[in-house]
Amino acid sequence: MKFEKITLYPLKMPLVSHFETSFGRIYDRECVLVKIESEGLVGWGECAADRDPGYSYETTGTTLHILQDFALPLLVGQDVTDAADFQRRISQIRGHHLAKAGVEMALWDLLGKRDGKSLQQMLGGTKKAVDVGVSVGLQDATEILVKTVGKFIETGYRRIKIKIKPGRDVSEAEAVRRAFPEIKLQVDANSAYSLETADILKPLDDLNLLLIEQPLFEDDIWDHHKLQKQLRTPICLDESIISPRHARYALEMESCRIINIKPGRVGGLSQGKEIHDMCLPAGIPVWCGGMLETGIGRASNLAIASLPGFSLPGDISASDRYYRKDVTHERFSLNTDSTINVPTGPGLGVNVDEDAVEQFAFGKVELQ
């Protein structure tokens, strides 16, 4: 696909309700959309970095900088044939996976539109709908958390994830477990503990949790191995798995028993699929994480989550859990069995509302 013109749109989208993790609270979600025009077609992608370097060192600013000044000059005017070709062309740029992944997503969208294939078909996914849950942020008080979780369960979510941080961990998980003894429950620390301070998490082992997500440092794989030996509950790595190579390290070191795949974090859908393909024969369940995506990234997550190894519910909630207004004409809704349908149209299978893009954009960068 000849990349004739590439446009970047930094967006700021107001969230339906604030979202708080161990690294802070946000009321709006930023991201950068990538629009690629090629051979009469338009492909869209989403770069998932946020305004601040909390979850990742990448930000809206670094995304624009890396794409504009380094990645896109390697691509504009070039014929990029597939994801492997794309990865080769940008391999000289270290890191910045969230930025690169947004461009790879737009390439998949173009390839699918050219060939009349959905992203699901191209990746080899089979499920018509995927199991999903909801990720509930830290709340101002335990009672509010229990009430909030209750509302999501009433809405139809059958798997709940709660965010934890030091001082707001075992007590919160116990309260939710007491109120909802049967619900599939998991916790996410977003790297808020060290091997020493993680001792406090041991009582979580008695709460029948599906998993404990990323308790230790984001660049750590070895201490997670030590912690996993002390816990019966599976550790699931998120931040630490930044490539298929890191997934292999984690499997070989037995640092976790489950992996959260976010195509953005690992540098693109192709890299996420590679991790899936490695974990499936190894008997390591994977699930699709979320980054509060717009309809564009959500469509992409649904497609990869339909691969057979994604055996745990994804952090892919319905559109109305995040945004009153989205940048796609399609909105994703929750089925009564806590699933969301996988898009079937060519490429990502969504139609972008360009007026909404312009409305939420606070800048625009064009390269041709």
Among 45, 125, 234, 290, binds ligand OSB (CB under 6 A): 290
**Active-site annotation holds for 262:** yes
Which of 188, 220, 293, 330 lies at the binding interface for Mg ion (CB under 5 A)?
188
Q: Which tokens belong to 42?
A: 């338009």
- Smallest gap from Cβ 6 to Mg ion, in A, equals 30
Write down the catalytic residue from 163, 165, 184, 273. Answer: 163
- Whether residue 312 contacts residue 286, with contact meaning beta carbons closer than 8 Å, is answered with yes
CB 162, CB 142: distance < 8 Å = no
Shortest distance, position 136 Cβ to ligand OSB, whole Å: 9
Binding of residue 289 to ligand OSB (CB under 6 A)? yes
- Segment lying near ligand OSB (by CB under 6 A), choices 80-88, 108-116, 284-292, 331-339: 284-292
**238 near ligand OSB, judged by CB under 6 A:** yes
Can residue 238 be called a binding residue for Mg ion (CB under 5 A)?
yes
Does the footprint of ligand OSB cover residue 244 (CB under 6 A)?
no
User: Is residue 185 close enough to count as binding ligand OSB by CB under 6 A?
Assistant: no
Q: Is 163 a catalytic residue?
A: yes
User: Rounded to whole angstroms, how far apart are CA atoms 288 and 315?
Assistant: 6
| 20 binds Mg ion per the rule CB under 5 A | no
Alpha-carbon distance of 169 to 163, in angstroms, equals 8
Q: Which residues pair with 9 in a beta bridge?
A: 33
161, 138 in Cβ contact below 8 A? no
Kindly determine how many residues on this chain lie close enough to bind ligand OSB according to the rule CB under 6 A: 11
The residues in 199-218 that bind Mg ion, with binding defined as CB under 5 A, are 213
The single residue of 113, 161, 184, 262 carrying the catalytic annotation is 262
Q: Does 50 bind Mg ion (CB under 5 A)?
A: no
Residue (7 or 135) nearer to ligand OSB, CB: 135
d(CA 261, CA 242) in angstroms, rounded, equals 9
* Contacts of range 167-176, beta carbons closer than 8 Å, 24 or more positions apart: 168/138, 169/200, 169/201, 169/204, 170/200, 170/201, 170/203, 170/204, 171/142, 172/142, 172/145, 173/204, 173/207, 173/209, 174/203, 174/207, 175/142, 175/145, 175/146, 176/145, 176/146, 176/149
Residues marked active site are found at 163, 262
Residues that bind ligand OSB (CB under 6 A): 55, 135, 188, 190, 238, 289-292, 315, 317
